[in-house]
């Protein structure tokens, strides 16, 4: 069931919301939690009934392992470490079987020339997210960060439908204190805040992301079929996909935050204007924040982090990013995407270290000169181009399609311009029939480039994001160590604080209603969120 579907918006959500608040108003918090659990399993069963047994079995098994870890709290560390290792291995084994088994068998056959066959294994939707979430919980229990003995509450922690399918990856200590609290006096406030954020996210997905998907699919699907995109087509496809995935994931994050707030729950920060990043490191502090947090706390730090010198730190960062790339999907393009980001982050860290050493007196330790920095606008533009280039393997169907798109972006496949440009080119000396240029029209509509791309660049670089607009009502939980733009009072764009009473103002209600109406018109063929496939 998609967030951007009629069945979700006008059937499932109203019923779940009404039953939940009726139970809470009746003073039955356990019943309210039960309603959310039942609704979450119905939501998950909509995709495939068999997936419910996988989710339920994973929840019950991890609860038993966590309870055993907690029971061993006073015993030897070795015993607890063994239980934790078994729990992590079981979770990774389940994820690996569903996500990577077909790929590994195919690669083994291709390499060795054998013909082993494995029945196609469908990937249960959201398994990567609820698996990582439960691994984090087991590690936290092992570290004595808290254990909740209630199976009912643990089940809700894992299955809560606004963040079940594509995150954010939450911690138990962030979520569970919020459940079971009476909030009957804040229903209208939460409805206003959550509904507004949801409509903003819905508009990002339906109006922008889905529009950008058309030219992006045209270029990348053509490359997968063996068609070589020309210079402008290749860059058009790459840019359109960069904006598609940006607004698709940003829209999903807003919709998840809005849905959770309808039930009085605040989710952690997961998206903070990543195209405003001034470095690759900054990008990963802004993009999919809870995944970055998980990789940092449960992979990078256990590998040694930065405790063993620069060389080991670079190796740890590189391994973390490669594994993060592989987590996104079973295929060489995802591994290449992880490798590219690993290399870029290592270079970024090395550059920072070199700048710091240049700016510090080795004898006194005092700063001699401030490190030279490019203007912020140039930094953002340069990082944006790098990000666009690295999105190519992420979107490409295989290595061959990736190579064709990169060749097109380098101009190796020639240049194609709209036929309407031919008379103009003929007026310029030396431009008549230039080699490699063909006036036969574009595969991608030029309007996508001339209108959409500049407008979207202005939107992501100059405008406040949805959490900054809503910062006056504390829409989300700040994630320690990551940008908290929703709390910032020094944003270049100083948006007015949203107040729930605005929902009652005719102009605000009309504007929100019009945006929602435009979105509903596009519901004829709702599309899945890109991160649902991971």
Look at residue 431 in the predicted model and tell me its pLDDT. 45
C-alpha to C-alpha distance for 326 and 394, rounded to whole angstroms: 11
- Mean pLDDT for each consecutive 10-residue tract of the chain (534 residues)? 88 95 89 94 91 94 94 79 93 92 85 80 88 94 84 93 91 84 74 90 93 90 90 90 96 95 92 93 93 92 85 92 90 91 93 74 55 78 96 92 94 75 54 50 66 91 88 79 54 48 63 83 79 81
Contacts 24+ apart (CB under 8 A), 329-336: 329/99, 329/533, 329/534, 330/99, 330/100, 330/102, 330/103, 330/104, 331/103, 331/398, 332/398, 332/399, 333/393, 333/394, 333/396, 333/397, 333/398, 333/399, 333/402, 334/393, 334/394, 336/393, 336/399, 336/402
| 3-class DSSP state of 367 | strand
Q: pTM value? A: 0.89
Q: Which residues are catalytic?
A: 328
Closest CA to 9 of 206, 155, 243: 206
């Amino acid at each position: 069931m998609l967030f951007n579907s009629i069945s979700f918006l006008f059937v499932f959500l109203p019923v779940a919301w009404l039953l939940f608040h009726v139970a809470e108003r009746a003073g039955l918090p356990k019943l309210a939690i039960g309603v959310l659990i039942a609704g979450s399993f119905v939501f998950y069963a909509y995709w495939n009934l068999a997936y419910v047994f996988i989710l339920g079995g994973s929840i019950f098994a991890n609860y038993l392992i966590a309870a055993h870890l907690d029971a061993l709290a006073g015993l030897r560390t070795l015993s607890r470490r063994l239980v934790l290792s078994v729990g992590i291995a079981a979770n990774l084994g389940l994820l690996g079987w569903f996500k990577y088994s077909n790929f590994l068998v195919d690669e083994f056959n291709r390499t060795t020339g054998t013909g082993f066959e494995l029945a196609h294994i469908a990937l249960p939707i959201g398994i990567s997210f609820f698996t990582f979430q439960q691994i984090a919980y087991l590690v936290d229990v092992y570290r004595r960060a808290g254990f909740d003995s209630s199976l009912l509450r643990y089940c809700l922690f894992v299955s809560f439908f606004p963040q079940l399918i594509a995150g954010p990856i939450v911690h138990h200590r962030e979520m569970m204190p919020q459940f079971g609290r009476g909030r009957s006096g804040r229903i209208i406030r939460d409805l206003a805040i959550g509904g507004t954020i949801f409509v903003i996210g819905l508009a990002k997905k339906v109006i922008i992301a889905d529009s950008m998907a058309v030219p992006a699919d045209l270029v990348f699907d053509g490359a997968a079929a063996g068609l070589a995109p020309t210079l402008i087509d290749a860059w058009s496809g790459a840019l359109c996909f960069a904006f598609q995935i940006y607004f698709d994931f940003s829209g999903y994050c807003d919709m998840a935050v809005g849905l959770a707030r309808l039930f009085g729950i605040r989710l952690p920060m997961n998206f903070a204007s990543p195209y405003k990043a001034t470095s690759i490191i900054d990008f990963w502090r802004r993009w999919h924040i809870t995944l970055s947090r998980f990789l940092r706390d449960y992979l990078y730090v256990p590998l040694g982090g930065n405790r063993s010198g620069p060389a080991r730190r670079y190796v740890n960062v590189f391994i973390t990013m490669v594994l993060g790339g592989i987590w996104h999907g079973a295929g060489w393009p995802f591994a290449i995407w992880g490798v590219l980001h690993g290399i870029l982050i290592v270079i970024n860290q090395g550059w920072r270290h070199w700048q710091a050493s240049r700016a510090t007196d080795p004898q006194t330790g005092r700063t001699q000169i401030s490190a030279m920095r490019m203007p912020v606008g140039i930094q953002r533009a340069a990082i944006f181009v790098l990000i666009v280039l690295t999105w190519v393997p992420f979107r490409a169907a295989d290595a061959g399609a990736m190579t064709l798109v990169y060749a097109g972006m380098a101009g190796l496949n020639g240049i194609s311009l709209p036929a309407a440009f031919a008379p103009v080119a003929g007026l310029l000396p030396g431009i008549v029939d230039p080699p490699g240029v063909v006036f036969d029209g574009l595969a991608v509509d030029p309007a996508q480039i001339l209108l959409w791309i500049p407008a979207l660049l202005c939107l992501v670089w100059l405008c406040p994001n949805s959490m900054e607009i809503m910062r006056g009502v504390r829409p989300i939980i700040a994630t320690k160590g990551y940008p908290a733009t929703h709390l910032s009072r020094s944003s270049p764009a100083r948006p007015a604080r949203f107040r729930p009473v605005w929902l009652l103002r005719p102009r605000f209600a009309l504007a929100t209603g019009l945006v929602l109406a435009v979105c509903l018109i596009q519901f004829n063929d709702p599309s899945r969120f890109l991160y649902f496939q991971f």
